[in-house]
Amino acid sequence: MIVPPADRNTDPNFPGQPQLHDDTRFAAGKIAIFQYATVIIFLFLISGFWRLQIQSPEIYAEKAEQNRIKSRPLLAPRGRILDRDGRVIVANHVSSTLLLTRENMKPEDLKPIAEGLDLNLPDLQAKAARGGPKYRAIRLKEELSPADLAFVNSHRDVFPELDIISSQPRLYPQDGMMAHVIGYTGEVTQAELDSTDFAKYKQGDIVGQFGIERQYNDALTGTDGQQRVEVDNRGQVREEFKDGTIPAVAGKDLQLTIDLDLQAVAEIAMDGKNGAVVALDPRNGEILAMVSRPTFDPNKFVGHIKASDWNAINANPDHPLMNRAIQAQFAPGSTFKPVVALAALETGTIDENTPVHCPGYVVLYGHTYHCWEKKGHGTVSLHNGIVHSCDVYFYTVGSRMGIDDLALYAKMVGFGQPTGVDLPGEVSGGVPSPEEVLHTYHRKWYAGETPSVAIGQGDLKVTPIQLARAIGGIAMGGVWHVPHLVKNDAIAAKTTIWPVDPKHVQDVVDGMWGCINEAGTGAQSVIPGLDFCGKTGSAQLASVDVAKAAAANHETGLKDNAWFVGFAPRRNPEIVVVALFEHGVHGNLAGPIVRDVVKAYFDKKTRIQTWLQQKTAVTAGLAKVSTLDLPQPAHN
């Protein structure tokens, strides 16, 4: 028998080859490891299934439901702002707001989001970081443009944390009309959130930041609602549920005392000028018109103002954000003379017939004071002193009366203190007195300073609204109401009453009537057929020498301010109007502004009365026809 040669691959005795039983043991070990791993994984899955389905099904079912069902805010529209006749001044319009859900947000997503939506990256990062709990979505951008919408819609898979909801942002009048009265809205700031006034608001909320929007923010702000929606795994809405939805509650409408017709006339009258106009009803303090120039466009502040727009406003040397009606503090010039006249009569310093000779100047306390009329006014008494605004007359009267009584009556009519108007940011002005000089300048009062105060110069500073209230209260016989912009009987009832002699009031009022109707300094503002009273004022901003030097260099910033205050009718006035025309030089150039507003008021009143009379006549005619015994048709 032939024996085959040994196989090198199978013979275990062949030198240098592994043993067969070693390979078997190695393979069995790997299989055992795999089996054990499979058992462990299976046990892990079983335990997870146990916890999920048997041990705590409610918890995990709730988490799954939370991932599937989300709550989206329903933004409440702010209340509308109406004029005194119910006409809409400020409304809302339908727009879109972008929300950022931060629960699943990737920090690295913020940069491309900022670039795609033209947002400032540091601002976006700060907003995302301080926006409160991460489950609460924050407002990322208001007033989405078509480009913004296109970016979000085209990147839904990339940025599922972005969500678009419906909103109703503000729509303000164009060309800055009433901007300083209405104000604007904006996102609540961190400083505001830290204050008690904004304790109920949260990051991202829109609040009033200026004007009426700020003053009555709580009344205008509504209450946001909530809507339940089903979302997919990318966070996109698949279905909206009606059950469980909490509707938004709109803010309350706010009716102002402003008359849009008068406001429009005042706006047009101030076109191209810097300054302010205030028109109010002296019988109750209701503000009928308020204008400040230059103005700004509050629509640019809706949502978030662009940096370029904000820089342009801030860099404007005329300060368009200043409400000159309540914040411009200037010497009133000769519009202060009616207050001096009333004070002199009340204190017995003069009577209506006390004569003062004006040769064009007067020497007091060793100093020569010049009248605006270089050739003088001759001998004048109270009436002609007001009519022709004689400086020498009031220099003399003021020096006789003294600074203490001048300051007393200036404060009596409301100078040197806020009027209490329902707008934020009102300033106090200033009334010079020995006490004020000692406190401010640490020196005594010099008698030679008194004559300048008597013609509305020196350290006397008033605002347009203070002047309107002061002259209106004098014309009303010593009753001063708190000016206000929102119809409110409680505010209207707040009055300051100072018992003054009706004869003295009549003397002052008659002088102001003559200023316009007796060829006085306000003759350019006469309104035929109307008892219109007024007073001009030209107030220096610098000494005569300094002003002349500035004029020689073609600098207009030191030209005199022009003032005019007027009311009508002469007895029981219904409207008082003040105009400040910055650098207008002569008060008679501010007069036509006031004249136009007053005329518009009475023209409108006449139209309404005519319409009511016609309506009454038609109604009476119809009633008469209905009572006639008309023949009845025959019946066959």
Give me the active site residues, please. Answer: 334
**597 Cβ contact list (under 8 Å, min separation 6):** 262, 265, 266, 269, 277, 279, 289, 575, 577
pLDDT in tens, 316-342: 999 999 999 999 999 999 999 999 999
Residue 385 and residue 396 in contact, taking contact as beta carbons nearer than 8 Å: no
Two structure tokens written together for 23 = 């390979």
* Torsion, Cα of 101, 102, 106, 112 (10° steps): 50
Q: What does the H/E/C string look like for 209-261?
A: CCHHHHHCHHHHCCECEEEEEEECCCCCEEEEEEEEEECCECCCCEEECCCHH
- Specify the pLDDT at position 194: 85
Burial class (CB in 10 A: 0-12, 13-18, 19+), 349: middle
The residue ranges of the chain whose pLDDT is under 70 are 1-26, 48-70, 131-132, 135, 229-242, 542-558, 625-636
Residue 127, φ and ψ in degrees, nearest 5? -65, -40
- Specify the pLDDT at position 636: 46
For the whole model, what pTM was predicted? 0.83
420 Rama sector, left if φ>0, alpha if ψ -120 to 50, beta otherwise: left
- Specify the pLDDT at position 554: 47
Residue 581 and residue 275 in contact, taking contact as beta carbons nearer than 8 Å: yes
Give the neighbor-by-neighbor strand order of the sheet with 287-293.
287-293, 275-280, 575-581, 561-568, 533-539
Rounded Cα distance between 600 and 592, Å, is: 12
Rounded Cα distance between 533 and 526, Å, is: 9
Parallel, antiparallel or unpaired: strands 287-293 and 275-280: antiparallel
- Specify the pLDDT at position 187: 86
Choose among 382, 394, 498, 499: nearest CA to 452: 394
